[in-house]
Amino acid sequence: MQRRNWIAAAAALVAISPFLGNTASAQAWPTRPIKLVVPFPPGGLIDNMARLVAPKLALELGQPIVIDNKPGAGGNLGAAEAARAAADGYTLLMASPPLTISPALYSKLPYKPEQIAPVALLGRVPNVLVVNPAAGINSLAELTALAQSKPGQLNYASNGQGTSLHLSAELYKSQSGAFVTHIPYRGAGPALNDTVAGQVPIIFDNLPSALPFIQSGRLVPIVVAAPQRLSQLPNVPTFKDVGLEPVNRMAYYGILGPKNLPKEVVDKISAGVKKALQEPGVTKRINDTGSLVVANTPEEFTAQIKAEFEVYKKVVDQQKLKLD
């Protein structure tokens, strides 16, 4: 009888040992370097914020965080790599609105949206519509009038198909009746550089990456997408100020991971992000760019992504922007 009981206990232990191992592994996490996939080239907002926060988050977690730039397809290639990764916390994704937009925009994706789960929202950032000084455009009214008088002859740059900057420009077009031709680039850095060089006259960009060029006079800001005027650009109106309030949409950036990440891992990342964002040097650098530190919960981040999807889906449908 005792032998039977011993055999039964041993069998039960074998049956539950994988789960015990997973729990122990999650509790010990991390024990090796973590890869943070950035789905855009170096030099843009998402890359810059990843490189700002990663060292501080690494200190909180006790392991190095390696930035891995995987640009292409409006952020979808990097998102696909994160979606395919093991749900062990060693591959994460630094994501932005394209992750919200892609399911509405693309008829086919290299991953399923439900394969990626929000972990920690870091912040939100205003967008700004800027022009090269050589274009001679000094206000949104002038841009709209010029675009309406020469439909399709003006070009605007963006950081890629299906990004929030692309959709923000399309939202402006739908609200104003202006027709401006989209020139997509593989990332904000190349798009911004060509606008500064005068290859493209207009760009809808995130404020942090455009601000240095605005301050040096190499780009002219004509309107910002933000709830109120910015301290960095007090004389530049918001879209609400010029009668186009629906275009007042801010970008976001945050950390996501493969679905089914252990709760212990999610909690450690979320807590680590909050501590990293409380570091005075990080907070100041983020605030100086015009970004807003958020650091909300995974549940709040999930709800935000759902709400953003509904907004951008409407723009995609109105502008007939479906992509293959």
Closest CA to 32 of 62, 54, 68, 60: 62
Strand ranges for 149-249 from DSSP E: 155-158, 181-184, 202-206, 220-225
In which element (H, E) is residue 98 found?
helix 98-105
Q: Could you please report the per-residue DSSP string of 175-204?
A: HH----EEEE-SSHHHHHHHHHHTSSSEEE
The CA-based diameter of the chain, rounded to the nearest angstrom, is: 93
CA distances from 68 to 40, 81, 240, 272, 321 (A): 10, 11, 38, 20, 29
CA distances from 255 to 23, 37, 123 (A): 22, 10, 10
CA dihedral 211→215→219→224, nearest 10 degrees, is 50
Least confident of 19-23, 36-40, 108-112, 287-291: 19-23
- Is the pLDDT reported for residue 98 higher than 90? no
Which residue would you say has higher pLDDT here, 302 or 1? 302
Tens of pLDDT, residue by residue over 210-245, are: 999 999 999 999 999 998 899 889 999 999 999 999
Residue with tokens 């723009």: 315
* Distance of alpha carbon 236 from alpha carbon 222, whole angstroms: 6
* Distance of alpha carbon 247 from alpha carbon 208, whole angstroms: 19
Q: How confident is the model at residue 26 (pLDDT cuts 50, 70, 90)?
A: low
Burial class (CB in 10 A: 0-12, 13-18, 19+), 320: exposed
pLDDT value at position 255? 96
pLDDT value at position 68? 97
**Average pLDDT in the 132-139 region?**
96
Angle at 301 between CA 40 and CA 203, to 5 degrees: 40
- Is the pLDDT reported for residue 32 higher than 60? yes
**Average pLDDT in the 107-116 region?**
88
**What domains, with CATH codes, occur in the chain?**
31-125+250-319 (3.40.190.150), 127-247 (3.40.190.10)
Global confidence as pTM: 0.74
pLDDT value at position 4? 47
Tens of pLDDT, residue by residue over 142-156, are: 999 999 999 889 999
pLDDT value at position 101? 84
Strands 202-206 and 155-158: parallel
* Distance of alpha carbon 170 from alpha carbon 313, whole angstroms: 12
Q: How confident is the model at residue 258 (pLDDT cuts 50, 70, 90)?
A: very high
* Distance of alpha carbon 230 from alpha carbon 234, whole angstroms: 5
Q: Sheet containing 65-69: give its strands across.
A: 65-69, 34-38, 91-95, 251-258, 116-125, 292-293
Tens of pLDDT, residue by residue over 33-81, are: 999 999 988 877 788 889 999 999 999 999 999 999 998 877 889 999 9
Percent of the chain with pLDDT over 70: 91
Residue 258: strand, helix, or coil: strand
pLDDT value at position 227? 85
- Is the pLDDT reported for residue 270 higher than 60? yes
Tens of pLDDT, residue by residue over 162-191, are: 778 888 999 999 899 899 999 998 878 899
Q: How confident is the model at residue 324 (pLDDT cuts 50, 70, 90)?
A: low
φ and ψ at residue 116, rounded to 5 degrees: -120, 135
Strand pairing partners for 68? 37
pLDDT value at position 27? 65
